[in-house]
Amino acid sequence: MTASESAALRMGVIGAGFMGRQHIDLIRAAPGLSLAAVADPVVADGAFGTRTYDAAGRMLEHEHPHAVIIANPNALHVDTAIECLEAGAAVLLEKPVALDYAESLRLVGAVQRLDGRLLVGHHRRHHPAVARARAAVDSGALGQVVAVSGLWSARKEDAYFTEIPWHRLPGAGVTLLNVVHDLDLLRHLCGEVAEIQAMHSSHARALAVEDTVSLNLRFESGAVGSFLASDAGVSPWGWDQATEETAAFPFLPDGVAYRIVGTRAALSVPNLAKYAYEQGVPADWHSPLSRTYLPVSPRGSFQAQLDHFADVARGLADPLVSAQDAAHTLALVEASALAARTRRSVDVAQFRAEVEAGERP
């Protein structure tokens, strides 16, 4: 890439629905990036003030973008990403990376084979509070992490399911569409998950996909965790309510999505309230706890993700969320479905090994 090319990175967007439109707005607002074209079969040409193609392949052939953002339906993710990598474009692929772990391995293989540059859109990892929380965990400021709990619940509008058919079919569901972000962050903050138990419920919406889940986790570190989620239940609790990520979700200040409990201190995320015993008092439950807020500079995850993607596309950074990393998050989602179906604990590493060996259909 020449110096003048690196000054203006030409980006294509594939899939211009709810998420793709946000990416289009962000690209337009970002210095050093230009929107080369959009590919979406149902969008009229020129709708975004740029050329529009009805298929990704035609856009790649005519526009040769340096980089593409893929925000089409989940079932198309892997094939579209491989097509883009084969055309030499860097890829920001929306989550989930694939429909299941087996399929994601095809993409992991393609990234290796093509020496491709691919970032997966687990945008929360780019939030400044997440880097600060991870630093607190890694530095030992919380002591040994013994437990973590999390909650994401928000009542989606009924039209989300009635007007967009794939939202109510296998390949969607609250775990794959929403909890996948939380599981990715819990892995990022607390390390790999060794074992999972799960209860899934479709009671509230009576669809083919689950609307409410309860998960138990054992991390390889020895810490344990629990996570509750629902797309049918009203609540102020969850990442989307606790951050100003998108205008689509009203922001509630000082919100909490996760509580991390260590032997020296506790930390809630993303408000970064840290609870610890005051200096000079016995460090046990009879002593008063002080609350301080860890300092952090505000910055939207999606903007930070786009900046990082531009660096990945220019070869200046390795992806913060690689295909392999996202594949492990997806394996965890699938292991949770298996645990819910069989009503048994699932050993996550063994589950991945069985899929990799082709021993699971």
Ligand X SMILES: NC(=O)c1ccc[n+]([C@@H]2O[C@H](COP(=O)([O-])OP(=O)(O)OC[C@H]3O[C@@H](n4cnc5c(N)ncnc54)[C@H](O)[C@@H]3O)[C@@H](O)[C@H]2O)c1
The DSSP letter of residue 278 is P
- Rank residues 195 and 210 by Cβ distance to ligand X and give the closer one: 210
Q: 28, 50, 73, 146: which one contacts ligand X (CB under 6 A)?
A: 73
- What distance in Å separates the CA atoms of residue 161 and residue 180, rounded to the nearest whole number? 19
- What distance in Å separates the CA atoms of residue 255 and residue 107, rounded to the nearest whole number? 36
Contact call for residue 164 and ligand X (CB under 6 A): yes
- What distance in Å separates the CA atoms of residue 318 and residue 309, rounded to the nearest whole number? 9
Location of structure tokens 């100003």: 244
| Contacting residues for 42 by C-beta, under 8 A, at least 6 apart | none
> Which residues pair with residue 51 across a beta bridge?
37
Contact call for residue 71 and ligand X (CB under 6 A): yes
By CB under 6 A, the count of residues binding ligand X is: 23
Residue 160 contacts residue 167 (beta carbons within 8 Å): yes
Contact call for residue 14 and ligand X (CB under 6 A): yes
Instruction: Candidates 70-78, 213-221, 314-322, 337-345: pick the segment binding ligand X (CB under 6 A).
Output: 70-78
Contact call for residue 40 and ligand X (CB under 6 A): yes
Instruction: Candidates 8-16, 274-282, 328-336, 351-359: pick the segment binding ligand X (CB under 6 A).
Output: 8-16
98-137 binders of ligand X (CB under 6 A): 121, 123
Q: 30, 75, 76, 296: which one contacts ligand X (CB under 6 A)?
A: 76
| Contacting residues for 312 by C-beta, under 8 A, at least 6 apart | 90, 117, 119, 318, 319
Contact call for residue 153 and ligand X (CB under 6 A): no
Q: 19, 84, 129, 148: which one contacts ligand X (CB under 6 A)?
A: 19
| Contacting residues for 100 by C-beta, under 8 A, at least 6 apart | 330, 334
Q: 95, 187, 188, 328: which one contacts ligand X (CB under 6 A)?
A: 95
Contact set with ligand X (CB under 6 A): 14-20, 39-42, 56, 71-74, 76, 94-95, 121, 123, 164, 177
